[in-house]
Amino acid sequence: MSIVKILQKSTIESLSALYNQSFTDTDFQINQTKPEFEGDYTVVMFSLVKSLKLSPDAIGNQLGEHLTKNYPQFFTAYNIIKGFLNLTVADAYWQDLLQKNYNDICYGKKALNGKKVMVEYASPNTNKPLHLGHLRNIFLGWSVAEILKANGYEVVKSCIVNDRGIHICKSMIAWQMFGNGATPESTGVKGDHLVGEYYVKFNDVYKQQVEELISEGDDKATAEKEAPIMKATQQMLLDWEDGKPEVMELWKTMNGWVYAGFDVTYNSIGADFDKTYYESNTYLLGKDIVQQGMDKKVFYQKPDSSIWIDLTADGLDEKIVQRSDGTSVYITQDIGLALQKYEQYKIDQSIYVIGNEQNYHMKVLQLICQKLGMPNADNIYHLSYGMVELTSGKMKSREGTVVDADDIVEEMITTSQQHTEELGKVKDFTAEELTALYNTIGLGAMKFYLLRVDPKKTMVFNPAESIDFHGFTGPFVQYTYARIKSILRKQAEVMTTDNGQQTMDNDLLKAEKEVIVVAEQYGTIIEQAAQEHNPSVIANYVFNLAKTFNSFYSELSVANAETEVKKQLRLKISLLTANILKSGMQLLGIKVPERM
RNA sequence: GGUCUGGUAGCUCAGCUGGAUAGAGCAUCAGCCUUCUAAGCUGAGGGUCAUUGGUUCGAAUCCAAUCCAGAUCACCA
């Protein structure tokens, strides 16, 4: 149990004993004591003043007295300032915590809870390479999956690949017209980039043709519809739907190139999936659900035989679920897939990592699932994240203002190499070790940069800032870890692995205690991150812990501690910190180096 | 126009289930490497928490209105 929960519980017990009535944890608040005051945690009980008809100071005195008297193993002193009750937690408590956990690499994590969650993330299109926005998505999805695992959930990571439709045909048609048989092998271009080039080519040609038609007197709408390349693309989509062999062949070949390219990217950034769904397999799903919805009178048919659901009573609009020609639409596929996921994996919760431009869509999806009475429809969760903007404005793939995922990852790794070489601390590393280190630091910087911000907020990607390795960054945390490991290597022989009392020290110094206090919060932080589906909670915490440790490090010496007892104590503080930093960074998908 | 987000230091962001003098990082300035890795530490300056009103012992935080920015409201996906 965390110290905050202990304090909560003992406060409730004390209040009940003192005032002979029952209390709950909403009757008061517990905060960390501000640094300018004496104490570790503060009880705020202004809300009790009215019902108890006592002054805050009076309640504080009685409560403080009662707590220190009845729970001396936890609380040793108190003071009251302006009605706030500041309590000092016993040094023995902190030391006991340290003794029990300093060597536990699972510290803060929870046992399996028997619940299963699916996290769907990445969701790429097969007509262009991954960009910065995908990276935010992928890092978020991966991290949330890890955070849920740390909270005892079984997690299935899934990916839905958008591999069909008019936009896919665009790159296909452009390749057919202008490709001259180019392949990744013949050009040396990564498969997804090669296909992306033809997607851009399509848009160039299309734009040109539209302009020509307009100059010949067509209005814009007609021109956009009549442009030859667009008509060819539409024909190709029809051919694809008919299963025309040469179109299928081309489709499979080009998608194959893209998948090979994606695999390289996933591999380099450390993303993986337990299950991949392809939209070409799922786009016909949901048909029988439409029928069920009709039977249940959740859906209704219009005279042109298209099928709809009326969500106006829920503050939304009417939504089509089946076209008049009987084909299904996007949302229908999603309903079908949602059900399939549940049936295949018996999941308790389904998390979708999807950009916030689909908030409306996801709201509608969940609402329809609920109205259809689908199991666990209430446990559909849209992890909505904001767009990544550039300092120069928004990214637009058609205008070529996107930051390519492979490019930015490579740039970060190169930058980490430059920094490392300038510092010259690892000259004895082998070539393989160096490569691994540059990857660890470069990717660490990148992931930390994208994950340290609240997912739901639109964020600005500032290139100069993203490659900064100082301050609130991944490398800062990695560096702190490496520095601790350096101490531990040097002191390995003298560090005792006792669990006994000989390292007990009844007078913790401020800098020592501060590290333990922050370390103690790790379990609570992991819970909070899972509840909010928010990796930035972890990023902020890990930074805070590293910073607290760095102050400790610069103020006190471990190797040359005043006494042997102090030395052992500080070694344990260091090891505990290192374990938590490693564990927390792992929840963000970031590795930590033993040296850097 | 309806709905949903967001607006906190020059910049990027925490804090938002109401609590003490609103915090970090970057940038700027001033210090600290003959002692465990200076990718570090210590300090300084920098704020009308978009605006106005309300709720109350107390509001960056809750409520309302207004302003600004973004997203969305397809027989596209």
Q: How far is the CA of A580 from the C1' of B8 (A)?
A: 31
Check whether residue A562 and residue A432 sit in a common domain.
Answer: yes
CATH of the domain at A441: 1.10.730.10
Give residue A547's pLDDT: 97
Check whether residue A507 and residue A572 sit in a common domain.
Answer: yes
pTM above 0.80?
Answer: yes
Cβ of residue A458 lies below 7 Å from strand B = yes
Give residue A465's pLDDT: 85
Q: Got the DSSP string for A142-194?
A: HHHHHHHHHTT-EEEEEEEEB--SHHHHHHHHHHHHH-TT--HHHH---HHHH
Instruction: Show which of A89, A117, A134 is a domain's final residue.
Output: A89
Check whether residue A124 and residue A74 sit in a common domain.
Answer: no
Helices (H), A218-358: 220-226, 228-242, 245-269, 279-282, 287-295, 330-345
Q: Which residues from the 3-32 window of protein chain A have CB within 7 angstroms of nucleic acid chain B?
A: 29, 31
Task: Give the contacts of A198 (CB within 8 A, at least 6 positions apart).
Answer: A170, A171, A172, A174, A175, A178, A179
Q: Which residues pair with A161 in a beta bridge?
A: A278
Instruction: Show which of A58, A89, A120 is a domain's final residue.
Output: A89
Kindly state the helix (H) or strand (E) to which residue A58 belongs, with its residue range.
helix A56-70
Report if residue A340 sits inside a domain: no
Cα A257 to Cα A157: distance, rounded to the nearest angstrom: 23
- Residue in the block written with tokens 């490709």: A179
A448 closest CA partner among A524, A383, A531, A540: A540
Q: Which nucleotides of B are covered by protein (CB under 7 A)?
A: 2-6, 11-15, 18-21, 24-27, 35-42, 57-58, 70-77
Check whether residue A68 and residue A134 sit in a common domain.
Answer: no
A590 token code pair: 């970031």
Check whether residue A207 and residue A270 sit in a common domain.
Answer: yes
Give residue A351's pLDDT: 96
End-to-end CA separation in angstroms for chain A: 36
Find the residue closest to B40 using CA and C1' atoms.
Answer: A550
A151 closest CA partner among A481, A454, A583, A573: A583
Check whether residue A478 and residue A536 sit in a common domain.
Answer: yes
Q: What is the 3-state secondary structure (H, E, C) of A121-132?
A: CCCCECCCCCEH
Judged by C1' against the alpha carbon of A318, the nearest nucleotide is B73
Check whether residue A432 and residue A463 sit in a common domain.
Answer: yes
Q: Which residues from the 224-253 window of protein chain A have CB within 7 angstroms of nucleic acid chain B?
A: none
Report if residue A328 sits inside a domain: no
Find the residue closest to B14 using CA and C1' atoms.
Answer: A540
Give residue A504's pLDDT: 63
Judged by C1' against the alpha carbon of A327, the nearest nucleotide is B75
CATH of the domain at A23: 3.30.1360.70
Q: What is the CA radius of gyration of chain A?
A: 30
Judged by C1' against the alpha carbon of A536, the nearest nucleotide is B14
Check whether residue A135 and residue A193 sit in a common domain.
Answer: no
Each residue's pLDDT tens digit in chain A (596 positions)? 899 999 999 999 999 999 988 888 888 999 999 988 999 999 998 888 888 888 889 999 999 999 999 999 999 999 999 889 999 999 999 999 999 999 999 999 999 999 999 999 999 999 999 999 999 999 999 999 999 999 999 999 999 999 999 999 999 999 999 999 999 999 999 999 999 999 999 999 999 999 999 999 888 888 888 899 999 999 999 999 899 999 999 999 999 999 999 999 999 999 999 999 999 998 888 888 888 899 989 999 999 989 999 998 888 888 999 988 888 888 999 999 999 999 999 999 999 999 999 999 999 999 999 999 988 899 999 999 999 988 777 777 666 678 899 999 999 999 999 999 999 999 999 999 999 999 999 999 999 999 999 999 999 898 888 888 999 999 999 999 999 999 999 998 888 776 555 556 668 999 999 999 999 999 999 999 999 999 999 999 999 999 999 999 999 999 999 999 999 999 999 999 999 999 999 999 999 999 99
Report if residue A369 sits inside a domain: no
In single-letter form, the type of residue at position A470 comes to H
Contact present, A148 and A156 (Cβ < 8 Å): no
Q: Does the ipTM exceed 0.85?
A: yes
Report if residue A223 sits inside a domain: yes
Cα A440 to Cα A45: distance, rounded to the nearest angstrom: 47
Q: How far is the CA of A454 from the C1' of B55 (A)?
A: 29
Cα A41 to Cα A89: distance, rounded to the nearest angstrom: 8
Kindly state the helix (H) or strand (E) to which residue A117 belongs, with its residue range.
strand A116-120
Cβ of residue A486 lies below 7 Å from strand B = yes
Check whether residue A119 and residue A246 sit in a common domain.
Answer: no
Burial zone of A297 (CB within 10 Å; 0-12 exposed, 13-18 middle, 19+ buried):
exposed
Cα A158 to Cα A121: distance, rounded to the nearest angstrom: 6
As for how many domains chain A has, the answer is 3
Q: Where do the DSSP E strands lie in A391-499?
A: 459-461
Domain that holds residue A31: 3-89
Cβ of residue A558 lies below 7 Å from strand B = yes
Report if residue A509 sits inside a domain: yes
Check whether residue A104 and residue A84 sit in a common domain.
Answer: no
Instruction: Show which of A89, A111, A136 is a domain's final residue.
Output: A89
Q: How far is the CA of A54 from the C1' of B58 (A)?
A: 17
Give residue A479's pLDDT: 98
Give residue A464's pLDDT: 83
- Residue in the block written with tokens 């220190």: A68
Check whether residue A190 and residue A125 sit in a common domain.
Answer: no
Give residue A498's pLDDT: 64
Helix (H, G, I), strand (E, B) or coil at A480: helix
- Residue in the block written with tokens 């707590």: A67
Check whether residue A96 and residue A84 sit in a common domain.
Answer: no
Report if residue A412 sits inside a domain: no
Cα A78 to Cα A93: distance, rounded to the nearest angstrom: 16
